[in-house]
Chains A and B, each alone.
Chain A
Amino acid sequence: MNRDDHPESDLLGAYRRIAAIVDPPPADVLAAARAAFLTRDLDGAIAVLVADSRASVGYQPVRAEPDQAQGHWLLTFEGGGIRADLEVGEDAAGLRLLGLLSGTAEGDCELEQAGVRRPVEVDALGRFVVAGVSHGPIRLRCRAADGTRVTTAWVTI
């Protein structure tokens, strides 16, 4: 039954049993994992994350006086004919996204998080602000100028 034939396996087995009691994955985590399949998008193109100020790719790390409470960072997605720049900031109401889109059709853009989609109001210059966003994985769903639906890759904010 167990492919573990080490002599300590009894002890580890006891801990596996205890972890199942004390620290199992919560039911909502299991349910969210199953529900993730609903986000499958067969025809949309994907704009991938090409730069993330938190990682060592794309941007020079921002080292000048970052405010820990603000903790904002920059994300850039490209693909499917669009580019989306996002600045994630934090204020009392939660997270705030400042966005700049290019290559998208006017209107018709939404922010998706935990199965909920909310429309994003994009101005004529492609800018938008969304306030009160919770921590967790998000993505943008927009339409490129040629009509293709494009979603950004998921990113956890």
Chain B
Amino acid sequence: MEELDLAGLVRRIRAGDAVAWAALTARYTNLLWSVARGLGMGDADAADAVQTAWLRLVEKIDDIRDPDRLGSWLATVVRRECHNIRRRAARVEPGEPDGPDGWESIGAVTDPLDDRLLRDERDAALWRAFAGLRPDCQRLLRVLMADPQPSYAEVSAALDMAIGSIGPTRQRCLACLRGLLDENLFEPPPNAKHSGQGARGR
């Protein structure tokens, strides 16, 4: 994917150019959706979180100082909104999850994911293996699956994670994933939290 000229887009958007706005949303909506999914949001909540980020940006477009960090800014808004949305159902401490676990204390992200749409059995096996990963790995990898591929700065903003730890964590998570795949390529992962998930609809 060629890099967008974000500064140019922001200039055009400020001048009222809806085409530039559409280009921006086309570039980042997939990332924002991936972040909301990575953080375990269902369809409606993920849609709200993503929409809120875009509405906020419309509101703040004249105040954006560093257009190159727009993706990170949007990802941060979505992360915070996801947490706000989560709190409207459950009573938890104010503020973002903190302490040693942070977002780690939030459950796995596989619930909304479904392999029914995958015709290729190998793809379905890959997806089931993903569901067997630890929640922190699922979160990170789901965000890294965003298309176009996010920068580490964007991932860092999306998951409130140090940039330096993304590479090593990603390597560790992909290694786990390979382990799961080698272990049992065509069976649902044995200790998956949602063990029925992979088999649904089959």
**Which A residues are within 8 Å of any B CB, using their own CB?**
1-4, 6, 8, 11-12, 14-26, 28-30, 32-34, 36-37, 39-41, 46, 54-56, 61, 66, 68, 71, 73, 135-137, 139, 153-157
Contact = CB atoms under 8 A, between A and B. Distances in A.
A2 B149 contact: yes
Interface in B31-77: 32-34, 37, 43-52, 54-59, 61
Interface stretch (B122-130, B153-161, B186-194): B122-130
B158 to A, nearest CB: 15
B95 to A, nearest CB: 4
B52 A154 contact: yes
Interface centre among B21, B130, B142, B145 (most CB of A within 10 A): B145
A64 B55 CA distance: 33
Interface residues of B, number: 64
B91 interface: yes
B127 A18 contact: yes
Contacts of B50: 25, 29, 32-33
B94 A12 contact: no
Interface string B71-97: 000000000010011011111011100
A84 B88 CA distance: 21
B58 A39 contact: yes
A6 B48 CA distance: 34
A-B CB proximity, top 7 nearest: A25-B33, A33-B25, A36-B54, A56-B94, A19-B145, A8-B174, A37-B21
A115 to B, nearest CB: 10
B4 interface: no
A106 to B, nearest CB: 26
B162 interface: no
Interface centre among A54, A68, A136, A156 (most CB of B within 10 A): A156
A28 B47 contact: yes
A135 B44 contact: yes
Nearest to B34: A19
A37 B18 contact: yes
A54 B90 CA distance: 11
A154 B147 contact: no
B194 to A, nearest CB: 14
A156 B47 contact: no
Nearest to B21: A37
Contact of A34 (B22, B84, B90): B22
28 contacts: A4-B149, A12-B144, A12-B145, A15-B145, A18-B145, A22-B117, A22-B118, A23-B33, A23-B114, A24-B30, A25-B30, A25-B33, A28-B47, A29-B29, A30-B29, A36-B51, A36-B57, A37-B18, A37-B21, A54-B94, A66-B91, A68-B91, A135-B48, A136-B48, A137-B51, A137-B52, A153-B56, A156-B49
A16 B187 CA distance: 21
A16 B44 CA distance: 22
Interface string B121-151: 0010011001000000000011011110100
B199 interface: no
B51 A15 contact: no
A109 B124 CA distance: 52
Contact of A23 (B37, B57, B87, B178): B37
B112 interface: yes
B170 to A, nearest CB: 8
A157 B87 CA distance: 11
